[in-house]
């Protein structure tokens, strides 16, 4: 699978003088679901707006399926569906008409069966004759998704697709998105919900303060999730670790009062039993033990705070 979207050295400084992106490089693989995970203000909306050609970069370049987003805007834009973060839809039109119109607007022939399937998938079928202004916030968000799907884009951008959507509907949307991926659509979504990235993405890109801190396979991140630590709290602090414990690579904290051992929680042998035996044999007295597991949340929080 080659990359379908290529972002090279993209920076963005808004007219206010605020620099929202610092030399971002990103390669999006055809057919994947990439989640851009980052706190508010990280630059997620700015980045996808630049990729879609809605906002101009201050420097750098973006190609979509080989087309330059600025110089070949029309060719590139035809391949892209975007579901914006802000809900701007508010009209007297019906859901059915609005979605059908969106398909026509993008130069596609009418396809009522497709529109029906999209509305059913997004639990909007029973609202097809309702006017948009009567919809709830969650329904409006799903309507925006339906509109973007109506013209069958190859690449779909979802900017915070489930913000303000309740948990049950959120699951339904996740299912819709993975079905689209199965149909070959490349999906880029932004989120500040770690759970959402964990649930949906093939790869996760962490973005903070205008910089991409990492882009990694979710499976790899999940392995990091499997890392556990055991903290041994001692009665008396140790100045230096006895030679017999050297190979455990313990971390000394709290002036030598706490020794922390890291191990793979998924492994057959964790080494804990032997460690505790060796600690006792070295004459160290245990006061307490604590285990903890690093979560994606922790990894994320550490990354973001290191960057600031
Ligand atoms: N039109 C704009 N003019 C000036 N600053 C902006 C504009 N849009 C966004 N910003 C600023 O750029 C930064 C990134 O914003 P944004 O891309 O919306 O982040 P995110 O989507 O991750 O929350 C923020 O500090 C935001 O205040
Ligand atoms: Mg945003």
Q: Is the pLDDT at 63 greater than 80, yes or no?
A: yes
| 174-204: pLDDT as tens digits | 888 888 999 999 999 999 887 788 888 999 9
For ligand 1, say whether the CB of 46 is within 6 Å of any of its atoms.
yes
**CA-wise closest residue to 42 among 187, 143, 190, 185:** 190
The answer on 148 and 94 residing in a single domain is: yes
For ligand 1, say whether the CB of 41 is within 6 Å of any of its atoms.
yes
Does 206 fall in a domain? yes
Percent of the chain surpassing pLDDT 70 = 95
The answer on 179 and 62 residing in a single domain is: yes
Does 307 fall in a domain? no
The answer on 164 and 70 residing in a single domain is: yes
The answer on 270 and 175 residing in a single domain is: no
Question: Which of 164-173, 265-274, 296-305 is the least confident region?
Answer: 296-305
User: Sheet holding 59-64: strands in order across?
Assistant: 19-29, 3-13, 59-64, 67-68
Domain boundary among 201, 223, 245: 223
Average pLDDT, whole number, for the chain? 90
Does 301 fall in a domain? no
Q: What is the pLDDT of residue 225?
A: 64
Number of structural domains found in the chain:
2
| 252-292: pLDDT as tens digits | 999 999 999 998 877 888 899 999 999 999 999 999 999 88
The answer on 149 and 34 residing in a single domain is: yes
Does 263 fall in a domain? yes
Does 102 fall in a domain? yes
The answer on 136 and 14 residing in a single domain is: yes
Ligand 1 centroid–CA 23 distance in Å is 16
Let me know the angle formed at the C-alpha of 57 by 217 and 215, rounded to the nearest 5 degrees: 10
Ligand 1 centroid–CA 279 distance in Å is 52
Does 265 fall in a domain? yes
For ligand 1, say whether the CB of 56 is within 6 Å of any of its atoms.
no
Q: What is the pLDDT of residue 138?
A: 82
Distances (CA, A) of 162 to 2, 81, 167, 220: 29, 17, 9, 25
Q: Which atom of ligand 1 is nearest to the CA of 42?
A: 22
Residue 88 main-chain phi, psi, to 5 deg:
-110, -10
Would you put residue 147 in left (φ > 0), alpha (ψ -120 to 50) or beta? Answer: alpha
Domain boundary among 190, 223, 256: 223
Does 186 fall in a domain? yes
In eight-state DSSP terms, residue 133 is G
The answer on 212 and 112 residing in a single domain is: yes
Domain boundary among 187, 202, 223: 223
| 78-87: pLDDT as tens digits | 999 999 887 7
The answer on 101 and 208 residing in a single domain is: yes
Q: Give the CATH number, domain containing residue 63.
A: 3.40.50.300
For ligand 1, say whether the CB of 305 is within 6 Å of any of its atoms.
no
Does 305 fall in a domain? no
Of 306 and 179, the structure prediction assigns the larger pLDDT to 179
User: What's this model's pTM, rounded to 2 decimal places?
Assistant: 0.79
For ligand 1, say whether the CB of 24 is within 6 Å of any of its atoms.
no
Q: What is the pLDDT of residue 295?
A: 64
The answer on 164 and 25 residing in a single domain is: yes
The answer on 160 and 13 residing in a single domain is: yes
Q: Which domain holds residue 126?
A: 3-223
Ligand 2 centroid–CA 160 distance in Å is 7
The answer on 106 and 151 residing in a single domain is: yes
Beta strands, E only, 224-294: 227-234, 251-253, 258-264, 286-293
């Amino acid at each position: 699978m080659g990359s379908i979207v290529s972002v090279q050295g993209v920076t963005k400084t808004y007219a206010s003088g605020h620099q929202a992106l610092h030399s971002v490089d990103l390669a999006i693989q055809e057919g994947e679901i990439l989640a851009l995970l980052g706190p508010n203000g990280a630059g997620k909306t700015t980045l996808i707006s630049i990729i879609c050609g809605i906002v101009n970069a201050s420097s750098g370049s973006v190609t979509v399926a080989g087309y330059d987003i600025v110089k070949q805007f029309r060719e590139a834009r035809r391949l892209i569906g975007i579901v914006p973060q802000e809900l701007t839809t508010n009209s007297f039109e019906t859901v059915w008409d609005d979605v059908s119109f969106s398909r026509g607007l993008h130069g596609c022939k009418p396809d009522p069966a497709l529109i029906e399937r999209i509305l059913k998938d997004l639990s909007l079928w029973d609202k097809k004759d309702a006017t948009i202004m009567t919809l709830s916030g969650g329904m409006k968000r799903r309507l925006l998704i339906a509109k973007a799907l109506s013209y069958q884009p190859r690449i779909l951008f979802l900017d915070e697709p489930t913000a303000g959507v309740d948990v049950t509907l959120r699951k339904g949307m996740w299912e819709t998105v993975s079905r689209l991926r199965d149909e070959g659509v490349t999906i880029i979504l932004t989120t500040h919900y770690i759970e959402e990235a964990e649930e949906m993405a093939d790869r996760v890109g962490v973005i903070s303060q205008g910089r991409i801190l990492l882009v990694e396979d979710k499976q790899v991140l999940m392995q990091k999730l499997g890392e556990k630590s055991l903290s041994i709290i001692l009665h008396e602090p140790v100045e230096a670790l006895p030679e017999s414990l050297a190979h455990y690579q313990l971390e000394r904290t709290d002036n030598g009062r706490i020794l922390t051992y890291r191990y793979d929680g998924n492994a057959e042998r964790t080494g804990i039993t032997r460690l505790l035996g060796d600690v006792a044999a070295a004459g160290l007295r245990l006061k307490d033990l604590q285990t903890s597991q690093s979560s994606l949340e922790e990894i994320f929080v550490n990354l973001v705070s290191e960057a600031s």
